[in-house]
A and B are shown apart, each in its own frame.
Chain A
Amino acid sequence: AQSVAQPEDQVNVAEGNPLTVKCTYSVSGNPYLFWYVQYPNRGLQFLLKYITGDNLVKGSYGFEAEFNKSQTSFHLKKPSALVSDSALYFCAVKTGGGNKLTFGTGTQLKVEL
């Protein structure tokens, strides 16, 4: 069975500071890893994904994530946070054999002035 853990329910960051939202995963086989963001009363918006290749993945709105196979992690990062980045962030994983995404519990990011 595949699973994803987001150990922090909430992350608080000052605007202009770097941010990290943590994600670890457990799968058998090669993982396909995704980050999505959800704003209030909205659906999920795709940020980036890791399939294979370069461990550093760049995505939308200045976000990036680093795949670390030995630590089974896929942390989301941004060099300089904006207040508008405040939202709920989900890490998700799937493996071969279908389109089922397994999501983490989500991390609420709050960026303050």
Chain B
Amino acid sequence: KAGVTQTPRYLIKTRGQQVTLSCSPISGHRSVSWYQQTPGQGLQFLFEYFSETQRNKGNFPGRFSGRQFSNSRSEMNVSTLELGDSALYLCASSYRTSGSNSQETQYFGPGTRLLVL
């Protein structure tokens, strides 16, 4: 099976712009989660989507949003970019059932490295 794919791999934007990142999960996986990785804050959870619905959200401002399509592919959007949004954005997928407990492993993509100038 192909792994999680993320596009683009690298991105340079300027302050005030917006950006959209894309994630294709492993075939058959229905849950997609997004994480931000920075040297200062480490790995932080952004949000999770399952069956096109946001199931969980981390502590990020409303400028960060996402969505999931019927084929489980997901996009995240960051509007009005700030210098501090420079980070590696990681997408992870898992085969999650509809139950509230989730023991499944999350498999990560290679990430999109965003640089905001």
**Which residue of the partner chain, among B58, B105, B110, B111, contacts A34 with CB atoms under 8 Å?**
B105
User: Is B63 on the interface with A (CB-CB < 8 A)?
Assistant: no
Determine the main DSSP class of B at the interface with A: strand
A85 to B78, CA, bound (A): 35
How many residues from B make CB contacts under 8 Å with A?
29
Question: Judging by beta carbons under 8 Å apart, are A51 and B103 in contact?
Answer: yes
Q: Known contacts being A43-B108, A44-B108, is A97 close to B101, with CB within 8 Å?
A: yes
Question: Judging by beta carbons under 8 Å apart, are A106 and B94 in contact?
Answer: no
Candidate in A43, A49, A90, A92 with the most chain B CB atoms within 10 angstroms: A43
Question: Judging by beta carbons under 8 Å apart, are B106 and A101 in contact?
Answer: yes
User: Is A89 on the interface with B (CB-CB < 8 A)?
Assistant: no
How many residues from A make CB contacts under 8 Å with B?
25
User: Is B17 on the interface with A (CB-CB < 8 A)?
Assistant: no
Tally inter-chain residue pairs, CB-CB below 8 A.
65
User: Is B96 on the interface with A (CB-CB < 8 A)?
Assistant: yes
Q: Known contacts being A99-B48, A99-B96, A100-B45, is A43 close to B111, with CB within 8 Å?
A: yes
Annotate A43-60 by CB proximity to B: 1 below 8 A, 0 otherwise. Answer: 111100101000000000
A106 (CB) vs chain B CBs: closest residue: B42
Question: Judging by beta carbons under 8 Å apart, are B108 and A98 in contact?
Answer: no
Residues of A contacting B31 with CB < 8 Å?
A: 99
Residues of B contacting A92 with CB < 8 Å?
A: 43
